[in-house]
Amino acid sequence: DAKTTQPTSMDCAEGRAANLPCNHSTISGNEYVYWYRQIHSQGPQYIIHGLKNNETNEMASLIITEDRKSSTLILPHATLRDTAVYYCIVRVSNTDKLIFGTGTRLQVFP
């Protein structure tokens, strides 16, 4: 199963873009990259996922490198409510199982 590596923590000023990196150098060609976030004391929340093309939705953008060995989640205008732990996950191929790592703790400050 492909593993992911993320920084333990990051800070971001309110209103600025938050760029959260993730390395997944052992990813297979048919494995998707998923991002979830967990706000304190809540269950994780789906953000976005992608295979090889960049993706954008109302919450964030996902940039995947051409070799697919890394990706970046972009929150274009971070707010205080975006303070959370962000998990980058590679979906195990041919199953629905997601393996969560320890994630990046993003602190948005005023």
Partner 1 sequence: GAGVSQSPSNKVTEKGKDVELRCDPISGHTALYWYRQSLGQGLEFLIYFQGNSAPDKSGLPSDRFSAERTGGSVSTLTIQRTQQEDSAVYLCASTSTSGGSYEQYFGPGTRLTVT
**Under the rule (CB under 8 A), what is the footprint of partner 1?**
32, 34, 36, 42-46, 49, 85, 87, 91, 95-103
Write down the least CB distance from residue 30 to partner 1, Å: 12
Q: How far is the CB of 101 from partner 1 (least distance, A)?
A: 5
Other CB atoms within 10 Å distance of the CB of residue 75: 21
**Choice between 34 and 108, CB closer to partner 1:** 34
Nearer to partner 1, 87 or 108 (CB): 87
Nearest of 87, 84, 85, 52 to residue 70 by alpha carbon? 52
30/67 with CB nearer partner 1? 30
Rounded Cα distance, 29 and 109, in Å: 38
Pairing state of beta strands 9-13 and 104-109? parallel
